[in-house]
């Protein structure tokens, strides 16, 4: 799906497909250098991280393993509570593994804060984070993100895996959703 075709639903395209591609290539070169000679396990957080995972993994030259978790925040509402429930756990044993969590976006940071703690308790050798997007003005907890794509304004965005009510995930770019769509 192209931004042009759903122009009326979007306020502004923030990051284009090409900018994402270029950034992931840049991050992949850093990751390759940092993990040289080690076996990397990429852990994607469903469903938002599917596109980042697919493109980052293919950009990486060495072998990598990929695994997935699905989590959800307890409680209703659109704001993250920080209390997280595992809907689908990893298939892999993490003991001694070098883990790179792959995420779409860091908003409050509460999900990733919980997730890194949870994975750390499983005996991984190392845990780092790669996130395509971050909203610095929305942070409730500090997240140490080693590989970051773009800082964006504190607005609701869709595309490249990010949804509103399960739509727009297949939009190629990342764009601000027009308020009339959700209000
Ligand atoms: P956090 O726990 O507040 O950092 O939020 C984590 C999750 O909320 C992300 O992984 C996304 O799935 C979702 N999320 C946060 N901001 C947005 C947004 O602007 N658009 C779509 N989903 C979002
Ligand atoms: Mg997510």
CA of residue 99 to ligand 1 center, whole Å: 21
Average pLDDT, the chain: 94
From the candidates 9, 104, 107, 173, which is the catalytic residue?
107
Tell me the ligand closest to 164's alpha carbon.
1
Specify the pTM: 0.94
- Rounded to an integer, the average pLDDT of 140-146 is 95
Nearest CA to ligand 1 atom 19: 156
- Rounded to an integer, the average pLDDT of 60-73 is 94
What digits encode the pLDDT tens for the residues 5-15? 999 999 999 99
- Rounded to an integer, the average pLDDT of 140-168 is 97
- Rounded to an integer, the average pLDDT of 142-163 is 97
In short, whether 157's Cβ falls inside 6 Å of ligand 1 is yes
The domain over range 17-152 is classified in CATH as 3.40.50.10860: no
**List of residues 6+ apart from 174 with CB closer than 8 A:** 13, 14, 15, 20, 132, 133, 152, 157, 158, 159, 160, 162
Residue 107 a catalytic site member: yes
């Amino acid at each position: 799906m192209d931004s042009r075709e759903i122009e009326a639903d979007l306020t502004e395209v923030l990051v284009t497909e090409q900018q994402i591609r270029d950034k992931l290539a840049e991050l992949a070169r850093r990751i390759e250098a940092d993990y040289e000679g080690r076996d990397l396990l990429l852990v994607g957080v469903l469903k938002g991280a599917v596109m980042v995972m697919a493109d980052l993994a293919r950009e990486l030259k060495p072998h990598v393993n990929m695994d997935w978790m699905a989590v959800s925040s307890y409680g209703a509402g659109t704001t993250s509570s920080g209390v997280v429930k595992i809907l689908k756990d990893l298939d892999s044993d993490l003991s001694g593994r070098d883990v790179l969590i792959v995420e779409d976006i860091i908003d409050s940071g509460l999900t990733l804060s919980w997730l890194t703690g949870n994975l750390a308790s499983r005996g991984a050798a190392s845990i780092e984070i790669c996130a395509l997007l971050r909203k610095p003005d929305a942070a409730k907890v500090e997240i140490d993100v080693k590989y970051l794509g773009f800082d964006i304004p504190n607005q609701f965005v869709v595309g490249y895996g990010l949804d509103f009510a399960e739509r727009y995930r297949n939009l190629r770019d990342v764009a601000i959703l027009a308020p009339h769509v959700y209000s």
